[in-house]
Amino acid sequence: MLKLTAKLDGLNIGQITARGLMKDIVFECKPVEELLKDIYLFLVDVYKGGAIKGASYSFFNDFDKLTYGKQKGDVYEYAAGQFRNIFESICPKQYQILKEDSHGIVRLESVFQSLKNRQDMAVFDLEKERNLVIQFLTGNRTYFNRELFETNNTVVDIVNFEGHLKTLLALNNEYGFEKETYFSPKSGVDLLYVAFEGKMEIDVLRFIDVCINEIRDKHHSYLVALFFSLKSLHKLHVVEKVFREEIANHYKIRKLGVLKVSDSSNKEYVKRLEYYTKKWEVFSKSEGV
């Protein structure tokens, strides 16, 4: 059995000792994922106004000159080529997410999913930058300067990636090459979808969002009817407790009690139940569900 000690003599920052039966053992403390993410975001914030923004500005300065006065179709084709070239330059094949299509051919599933995977791997690359981690933890803001950007390959890689990512997002926003959900701020419904871990269909969550935003009082009574109307329509794939807790948390509803089915003699309950059932029919038709 090892006993942790407070002895720091002869140790570097980020090390601890454990006294065993035979001798002292020195353990290296590795940064956890949450810390690495914080450092990554800090680096992006530090260099966003210079190198990161500069890369995107430089690209579009040349892009606008080369496409000025050209036909829309030609501009789109040129933009698509540039988009693909930039993607492949910052996201090598080992980071690309592939899938097998209906014909058994392996193809790229999503540019932005692959880019998110590349970004996640860049976060973990920071683990090897021991001195950088220590400077961050000790609050040495002056350490993160231009010289660090010019000499530290890990930082160079992150800044280069984020600068080109900014360009790709801008191109995609203007020309709509593919749907992007990995870097843009998520809507309230998207966040709710994540909270339910994908167990609720997005169209059902949109319907729930519309209904809840209409409720002005008696949240519990209306949510009971909403829950059981959707349940009778076989649109719910989570248990009552999970549904109640996530809805209460997301919409900041205080003291939301258990959603229990009401007696059929309760006319107000029956009325609300019918209201949400009919409302879903109209909503699903308008959404093409």
Q: pLDDT for 172-217, tens place per residue?
A: 999 999 888 788 776 778 888 888 887 888 899 999 999 998 887 7
Residue 60 · residue 167 · CB < 8 Å: yes
Instruction: Inform me whether the pLDDT recorded for 233 exceeds 70.
Output: yes
Two tokens, residue 179: 């749907």
| Spatial contact of 252 and 258, defined as CB atoms under 8 Å apart | no
How many Å apart are CA 263 and CA 67, to the nearest integer?
Answer: 68
* Residue-level pLDDT at 15: 61
DSSP 197: T
Among 113-127, 146-160, 181-195, where is mean pLDDT lowest? 181-195
Residue 274 pLDDT more than 70? yes
Q: Helix, strand, coil: what percent of the chain each, to 5? A: 65, 5, 30
- Averaged pLDDT for residues 55-72: 94
Q: Which of 21-30, 134-143, 204-213 has the lowest mean pLDDT?
A: 21-30
Q: Is the pLDDT of residue 131 over 60?
A: yes
DSSP secondary structure, 111-134, as one string = HHHHHHHHHHHHHHHGGG-HHHHH
Edge-to-edge strands of the sheet including 15-19? 3-4, 15-19, 24-28
pLDDT band of 2, cuts 50, 70, 90: very low
Does residue 21 surpass a pLDDT of 70? no
Amino acid residing at 270: V
Query: What percent of the chain stands above pLDDT 90?
Result: 58
Give the Cα separation of 42 and 36 in Å (integer).
10
CA distance 58 to 66: 13
The dihedrals phi and psi of 120, each to the nearest 5 degrees, come to -60, -40
How confident is the model at residue 114, as a pLDDT? 94
How wide is the angle at C-alpha 219 spanned by C-alphas 213 and 222, nearest 5°? 85
Tell me, what's the pLDDT at 4?
47
Q: For residue 1, what pLDDT band results from cuts at 50, 70 and 90?
A: very low
- Is the pLDDT score of 90 beyond 90? yes
Distance (Å, rounded) from C-alpha 139 to C-alpha 276? 54
Give the three-state DSSP class for 4: strand
Number of Cβ within 10 Å of residue 215's Cβ equals 15
